[in-house]
Amino acid sequence: MTNSEKYKKAFSVLEPSDKISWEVEKMKAIEKKRHRKIAAAAVAIVGVLVLGSGSAYAANVGGIQRQIQLWTRGELTDATITFDGKGGYTTTYTDENGETQEMSGGGIAYDIFGNERPLTEDELMEDAGMNDVEVAIEDGRITVYFMDQVIDITDKFKDGICHVHLTGNGKEYFLTVGENGNYTLSEDKYMDL
């Protein structure tokens, strides 16, 4: 028999005194109270976070909003852009007639594995910046508004298409416009309609 086994056998017949048992019980009770306090604090923190985010969600009608400025009809205009969290946005502004206007956009991107994902807010902000172009048909005239530029392209169409080279924000843009006002905009080349 080893020493360890001898000690176990010798002390196994001993019973702890009531005083030792009482101390153990007291320590267990203190530990339970401490765990309850920690649990209560965790519940309180979660409650504050849920209520706080719920009220922010309610105040923002479910999306993330930012105040921005965009170009409309050659004028810099204050607007609100709301992101839906699913790769889309809506921009709301007041036009020169005092009427509320909305523009929406968004999309998806693909990762290196070919998986589809919604566009991020930063990507959407870039897309919203592309909305600095407006093509308007009024009184038989076709006008391109780009940032602070106003360009009449009515007489520049060839075979129903007009190509307009634009520069702004230190970038080049290639605008393809159809006689019906449809257009495509690219930073790389003129695109087909």
Q: Helices marked H in 86-191 — which ranges?
A: 121-130
**Domains contained in the chain, number:** 3
Whole-prediction pTM value? Answer: 0.51
- Rounded CA-CA distance 72/148 in Å is 9
Domain encompassing residue 117: 62-121
**pLDDT, tens digit (0-9, with 9 covering 90-100), for 29-73:** 676 666 565 655 555 565 555 555 444 443 445 557 888 887 777
Q: Where is 75: in which H helix or E strand?
A: strand 75-83
Q: What are phi and psi of 55, to 5 degrees?
A: -70, -35
140 and 173 together in one domain = yes
Percentage with pLDDT > 90 across the chain: 20
136 and 193 together in one domain = yes
pLDDT of residue 42: 52
Residue 127, domain member (yes or no): no
